[in-house]
Structure 1
Amino acid sequence: MEISELFWNAGDNQLRQGYMEEKEVFVCLLCGEQVEKGLIYPENNVLYEAERYMKRHIETEHGSVFHYLIGLNKKLTGLTDHQNSLLRLFYEGKNDAEIQLELNIGSASTIRNHRFVLKEKERQAKIFLTMMELLKEKDDHAPTFLPLHKNATMVDDRYNITTEEQQEVEKKFFPAGIDGPLVKFPKKEKQKLATLRVIIKRFELERIYSEKEINEVLKNVYADFVTLRRYLIEYGFLDRKDDGSAYWVKN
């Protein structure tokens, strides 16, 4: 199961802690890192058992689950830039007067009003989630949508892809199989996204690639590898340094 799928299918408690427990490993829901059970992990002269080491991984690599989540695209979090800033400051333990001074807005009462609005948003979210869970028990006609890519940069209708639609695109544009060449890069945005979902699987997580290495992988997919590379970055599947000296799969 892909890390994005693990992320979106995780329960509330699993998301809060940032990892999930499987039979033999703990899996980070934020990047896919796995820690094998039953082993002791040394770090800076300290020995950690597996689950504590996974917590340590989240602390060192992601700061915290909160910081990772609030750094996601605002189309995924549903937060405005202003709400994002407020939540960050609340999380840092700032009081209303300190926040008012830092953001240079209104008065302390204005901050309290923002707290109230966010609390209302929380209540609405709880009700909506409960309704959606109840709906699953009754809606036998709901299509199976593919999990949204966590680093999606343009969240709109093009991401409304069902399992059946993805399979149709794969058969049409990868007739030799998903490990084979791409016969044509589609013009329709939804089909582009479905195609990129296939291509990104050819890259290893946690590996740093040079531009030459990226190009070599993409040349085996399609002659116009420059276009593929550009769209993989544009859609948030790949990231790179500003000078193009290093590329990696975004998690």
Structure 2
Amino acid sequence: MNDLSELFWQASLDEIKQGYLYQKQTDEFVCLICGKSFANGVIYPHQEQLYAARKYIAIHIAEQHHSTFEVLINLDKKLTGLTDHQKIILELFYQGHADNEIAKTLNTGSTSTIRNHRFSLREKQKQAKVFLAIMELLGEQIPKKQTFIDIPRSSKMVDDRFAITEEENKKILSTCFKQGLSGPLTLFPLKEKKRVAILRHLLTNFELGKTYTEKEVNSILQQFYPDYVLLRRYLIDYGFMDRTQDGSSYWVRN
């Protein structure tokens, strides 16, 4: 599985490790591997037992995908950065084999070689943490050129997709809001830059410093597009708005 969904890339590290996430807007648990969803509150039967959705999606992952580890380890090298040899060693580590057993399996003849592999993989883990921290800091350093559209400094997905000139912004909005900027939205495009332009425009319908209920947010967005849940989710995902953990309050991010 190398064609990962956008939902996978938006998931937290803990959610990726468990293989699923909870979507509050739909009240469902969604498998990050295949996209199958299980409604919260529904009881699912399995082998003469009944399970709540959270428990059942773990069973689904174990039965359909074996384990999240197996899925991740078998991703393409361009996604994992691991060689085939490293993948084999990691699988043996995951299965709990001792260094001398792994040495025999790989016919290396030396446990010290396996210990060296453990060390190099731990170093790779440290490098990955440092690189992640660097990229997050980079994301917080937003360009301040006046020729580009300003966006919230807290945005979670800041990169060159946000580099939109005023001219580009007007062209995108005129294409997507054919009846005028007051709506309706003709379509919600796939291209990131167009989405950003639309979301930024939608944000102008909310007051900075004001707190909104989910119902109020839905009411405003519904004027522009039937799938207001989609718009609300992207306003959060792209960092234009924030909300409380229970989803009871929403506000524009500074």
Alignment equivalent of 1:55, drawn from 43, 55, 58: 58
Residue in 2 that maps onto 1:7: 8
- Of residues 73, 76, 87, the one that matches 2:76 is 73
**What is the identity, as a one-letter code, of the residue corresponding to 2:51?**
Y
Cα distance in 2, alignment partners of residues 78 and 3 from structure 1: 16
Query: 2: CA distance between counterparts of 1:52 and 1:126?
Result: 30
Instruction: Give CA deviations for 1:197-228 in whole Å, capped at 9, x if unaligned.
Output: xxxxxxxxxxxxxxxxxxxxxxxxxxxxxxxx
- 1:12 partner letter: L
After superposition, give the CA deviation of every residue in 1:120-149 in whole Å (9 maximum; x if it has no partner): 00000000001101111103383139xxxx
Secondary structure of 2:72's counterpart equals helix
Matched AA of 2:96: G
User: Quick one: distance in 1 between partners of 2:29 and 2:68?
Assistant: 15
Residue 62 of structure 1 contacts residue 68 of structure 1 at CA under 8 Å; is this kept in 2? yes
Matches within 5 A, 1:190-229: none
Distance in structure 2 (CA, Å) of the matches to 1:3 and 1:40: 28
Note the 1:79-118 alignment, pairs <5 A: 79-118=82-121
* Secondary structure, aligned partner of 2:134: helix
Determine what percentage of the aligned residue pairs are the same residue: 52
Match of 1:143 in 2: 160
Counterpart check, 1:121 vs 2:138: no
Matched residue of 1:144: which SS?
helix
Q: Deviations over 1:9-40 (max 9, x none)?
A: 11111111110001210001111010001011
Inter-partner Cα distance in structure 2 for 1:66 and 1:35: 21
Tell me the matched-pair count. Answer: 150
Greater Cα radius of gyration, structure 1 or 2? 2
Per-residue deviation, 1:74: 1.2
Taking the aligned partners of 1:58 and 1:144, their CA distance within structure 2 comes to 34
1:31 and 1:84 mapped to 2: Cα distance?
Answer: 22
Separation in structure 2 between the aligned mates of residue 3 and residue 112 of structure 1, nearest angstrom: 33
2-structure distance, mates of 1:75, 1:7: 16
CA distance in 2, matches of 1:106, 1:96: 11
State the one-letter code of the partner of 2:111: A
TM norm structure 1: 0.56
Q: Aligned partners of 1:27, 1:127: CA distance in 2, in Å?
A: 30
Structure 1 unaligned spans of 5+: 146-163, 172-177, 179-193, 195-251
Q: Distance in 2 between matches of 1:75 and 1:94?
A: 27
Q: Which string of whole-angstrom CA distances, capped at 9 and with x for unpartnered residues, describes residues 152-199 of structure 1?
A: xxxxxxxxxxxx9xxx9xx9xxxxxx9xxxxxxxxxxxxxxx9xxxxx
User: Are 2:29 and 1:29 equivalent residues in the alignment?
Assistant: no
How far, CA to CA, are the matches of 2:143 and 2:55 in structure 1? 41
1:16 and 2:33 aligned: no
> Partners of 2:143 and 2:76 in 1: how far apart?
31
TM-score by length of 2: 0.55
Partner of 1:42, secondary structure, is strand
**CA 1:123/1:39 → structure 2, altered by over 3 Å: closer, same or farther?**
same
